[in-house]
């Protein structure tokens, strides 16, 4: 989340496995969120390789999701 004029907003990022050499490309938004714990990182940082234990949450069909982190493992709570 980034703060702009005192209002918090999400800051989307784009990460690609392959580079775009020349020409055009199209992008389609996906409603996925990656959650992990990390110290000393700033909002807006581009991540090339996630080095910590993380979980990806697909929010395409829902606006909320409950997760739990216990014993080093993320779990979606049903």
pLDDT one-digit tens code per residue, 18-72: 776 777 777 777 788 888 887 777 777 777 666 678 899 998 888 899 999 999 9
The count of domains in the chain is: 1
Distance CA 5, CA 12 (A): 18
**Domain span including residue 64:** 27-78
For residue 14, tell me if it sits in a domain.
no
Please give the residue that has the higher pLDDT: either 76 or 6: 76
Predicted local confidence at residue 22, as pLDDT = 76
For residue 17, tell me if it sits in a domain.
no
For residue 18, tell me if it sits in a domain.
no
Confidence of residue 11 (pLDDT cuts 50, 70, 90): low
* Beta carbons within 8 Å of 76's beta carbon, 6+ residues apart: 55, 57, 65, 66, 67
């Amino acid at each position: 989340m980034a703060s702009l004029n005192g209002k918090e907003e999400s800051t989307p990022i784009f990460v690609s496995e392959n580079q775009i050499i020349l020409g055009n490309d199209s992008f389609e938004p996906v409603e996925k969120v990656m959650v992990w714990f990390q110290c000393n990182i700033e909002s807006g940082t581009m991540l090339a390789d996630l080095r910590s234990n993380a979980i990806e949450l697909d929010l395409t069909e829902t606006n909320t999701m409950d997760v739990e982190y216990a014993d080093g493992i993320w779990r979606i709570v049903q």
